Structure 1
Amino acid sequence: MSLIVSDRFRIVVGLGKSGMSLVRFLANRGVSFAVADTRENPPELATLRRDYPQVEVRCGELDVDFLCRADELYVSPGLALATPALQQAHARGVKLSGDIELFARYAKAPVIAITGSNAKSTVTTLVGEMAAAAGKRVAVGGNLGTPALDLLSDDVELYVMELSSFQLETTDQLNAEVATVLNISEDHMDRYSGLPAYHLAKHRIFRGARQVVVNRQDALSRPLIGEGLPCWTFGLNKPDFHGFGLREESGEKFLAFQFDNLMPVSELKVRGAHNQANALAALALGHAVGLPFDAMLASL
């Protein structure tokens, strides 16, 4: 994946948190760009005008001719790619991209990429805590907390990223060390034509992945691409040879990996089957990048 070419003109479309992170990223690299937002008073407008007064900004209805001045549009996740002005610009040869695509080009450390209709924030936080407990210099963010581009640093040893379907729509090649779709259920149906379109957007997370983690109890979590990649599984049933799950012995349930019991479910800090599933998913993701079991289990 090539790094950004500084002599091309870009437009950041959307001036929220991710849009402002794009502004900082482009400005720090001497890239020529402008900003557009469909809102008359976007949240970061005052910050933009204070810190980057030289940057042209257009607020209100998107002007297609203005957008077509750019070689590439970086579209914030809150704005649907189906927006007519974006589609018209794209039809006239303007590339549509986003902050996660740029992050993937510049991230030097392995990336754990997490999405799903439910629990992605919880699992992302858990994996981040596991990595920190293992002594890793870890950066956690994306859709959760800090925007991806603000996390980029040569000091980071591992990125743990929560990604939404909206962010993945503009991501062509994520190249994660390990990626997962935790689960799929109907969500954001105001944005998508139906569950199949939403499903396809979520599964962009697997593009370029080196390993995958799959929910054994949700067939829609299985990758549509990347057949033959190393695959780890999780579920609330007995683990398979490559998986994490629950095993019962002498009336007590255990978190288990393959044929080994890891810890009693009763020792988890939080109760409930959904929290057991979250713990198992986090263990699978951490194991995929080599985090030691003692550090991971101590975080649960």
Structure 2
Amino acid sequence: MKRIVILGGGESGVGTALLAKDKEFEVFVSDKGEIKEKYKQVLIHNEIEFEDGAHSEEKILNADIIMKSPGIPDKIPLIKEIRAKGITVVSEIEFASQYTNATLVGITGSNGKTTTATLTYHVLNQELNVGLAGNIGDSFAKQILEHDYQNYVLEVSSFQLDDIIEFKPKIAVITNITPDHLDRYEYQFENYIASKFRIAENQTKDDYLIYDGDDEVILNWLKDHPVQSTLLPFSLTKIIENGAYLDNNNIKITIDNNQIIMPTANLALEGKHNIKNAMAASTVAHLLKIRKQTIRESLENFQGVEHRLEHVLKINKVQYINDSKATNVNATYFALESMDAPTIWIVGGTDKGNDYQELFQFVNEKVKAVICLGVDNEKLMKNFGGMVDIIVETQFMSEAVKIAYKIAEAGDNVLLSPACASFDLFENYEDRGRQFKDAVRNL
């Protein structure tokens, strides 16, 4: 009987444990932190051995295979020791994908992957039997065990791709690549790019890679590192023969001379970046033979993703917008780009080595006040202090919202788009977004 040790008792860890037990592995789950009560109950109910609050090496280093949660970095001593012993380390998507024959759509990128994955799922779900997993919702492993859909849309992070061996999506999507998580990649942008491109490394000529044809980072990488798969770029600026492009406010998608045309005016989501997300999602749908009418209607009635440019309330003609999911500079770039009114911007958190320069044009043009919400706001004060008349610091969401309320005038926007991780003051970006929404509703 093969022994699998699962490091991390969260959604992906517990999902993997259930699937592994079903496939007759001897299973042990180990979490250095505390496993949430709901996950403990699942493990107890299924008679799966686990520990939390520590990693017992004697119970870990005897594994045949190790599934590590994407949150655990490679540089910790335990992982180094596991690798030195030659034990295979995999991510959940690698382990789970060997137990399904479904068509896999893998979506990665620095920004837009959640929106693109959710939108793609929304379109496909109208006509196909499909699951949505990866960084989203129930774990991939658990869904294979409980549903085994014929198709999966997987939102995949670079951390999950770092530990694949044979994982191969039929359709891979790279929404864009901008510097992010560099603390996990020796601060080398190349390492992070290489990690994203692993989504295509096992693909053959019968598979497809959909990507942003305007993204210099992607284009340069493909020049030096060609892939086997059929390339289907999307672009807002150039004409694309095979793929998607913008023609007079119409999205045109061509695959093997089969074309679909959609007006952008009717898209449910606003902003240039969402035209790209729509292009990526519709290219996937077009490949999987979804009817053109279904694709058009789905793009028109899509509700969007929580914490991503989510319109919360209008109070005294001021629009409050929750973009807590913007955990890097590039995501905030898209948010500020789409603002069409004077904006009070709430920013800050755990900085991952941010360079704020690309935001300067928008801050000069659109932002009337900056509210810094973090434990350490020194870098923000230095970058933006000279650009706006009002810049203040706080460490409480309720206070940040009250200050914004005082400054705002009719017709303004109040935008939470932090450009940073949330872990200094909040549990995660969802917690940060919900606190913002609660504070706005309490005004």
TM-score if structure 2 supplies the norm length? 0.61
1:110 matched to 2:107? The reply is: no
SS in 2 for 1:190: helix
Could you tell me whether the CA contact under 8 Å between 1:108 and 1:154 is conserved in 2?
no
SS in 2 for 1:66: helix
Change beyond 3 A, Cα 1:229–1:266: same
Aligned to 1:175: 168
Could you tell me whether the CA contact under 8 Å between 2:5 and 2:27 is conserved in 1?
yes
Distance 1:294 1:62 in 2: 53
* 1:114-133 equivalent positions in 2, closer than 5 A: 114-133=107-126
Residues 241-284 of structure 1: CA distance to partner in whole angstroms, max 9, x if unpaired? 10211111xxxx11112496712211112221111111111112
Question: 1:205 aligned to 199, 202, 205, which one?
Answer: 199
For residue 155 of structure 1, report the CA deviation from its aligned partner.
5.4
- Which structure 2 residue ranges, 5 or more long, are not aligned? 300-443
Distance 1:136 1:172 in 2: 28
Change beyond 3 A, Cα 1:70–1:228: closer
Could you tell me whether the CA contact under 8 Å between 2:177 and 2:218 is conserved in 1?
yes
Could you tell me whether the CA contact under 8 Å between 1:123 and 1:278 is conserved in 2?
yes
SS in 2 for 1:111: strand
Question: 1:138 aligned to 110, 119, 130, which one?
Answer: 130
Aligned residue identity for 1:128: Y
Identity of aligned residues (%): 26
1:184 matched to 2:184? The reply is: no
Residues 135-190 of structure 1: CA distance to partner in whole angstroms, max 9, x if unpaired? 11111111111211122167522111101111111111222111021101111122
Residues 217-262 of structure 1: CA distance to partner in whole angstroms, max 9, x if unpaired? 11333557563421111111233110211111xxxx1111249671
**Aligned length in residues:** 287
Aligned to 2:247: 247
Moved over 4 A (4+): 222-226, 258-261
Aligned residue identity for 2:279: L
Question: 2:140 aligned to 148, 152, 155, which one?
Answer: 148
- Which structure 1 residue ranges, 5 or more long, are not aligned? 1-6
Change beyond 3 A, Cα 1:76–1:257: same
SS in 2 for 1:106: coil
* 1:3-82 equivalent positions in 2, closer than 5 A: 7-39=1-33, 41-43=34-36, 46-48=40-42, 50-53=44-47, 55-82=48-75
Aligned to 1:269: 268
SS in 1 for 2:184: coil
SS in 1 for 2:166: coil
Deviates more, 1:26-35 or 1:216-225: 216-225
Could you tell me whether the CA contact under 8 Å between 1:12 and 1:73 is conserved in 2?
yes
Residues 86-122 of structure 1: CA distance to partner in whole angstroms, max 9, x if unpaired? 1112101211112101222112111010001001011
For residue 131 of structure 1, report the CA deviation from its aligned partner.
0.8
Aligned residue identity for 1:292: R
Distance 2:103 2:260 in 1: 28
Aligned to 2:229: 229
TM-score if structure 1 supplies the norm length? 0.88
For residue 49 of structure 1, report the CA deviation from its aligned partner.
5.2
For residue 193 of structure 1, report the CA deviation from its aligned partner.
1.1
Distance 1:89 1:168 in 2: 19
SS in 1 for 2:183: coil
Greater radius of gyration (CA): 2
Aligned residue identity for 2:201: R
Could you say what the CA RMSD is over the residues aligned between the two structures, in angstroms?
A: 2.1
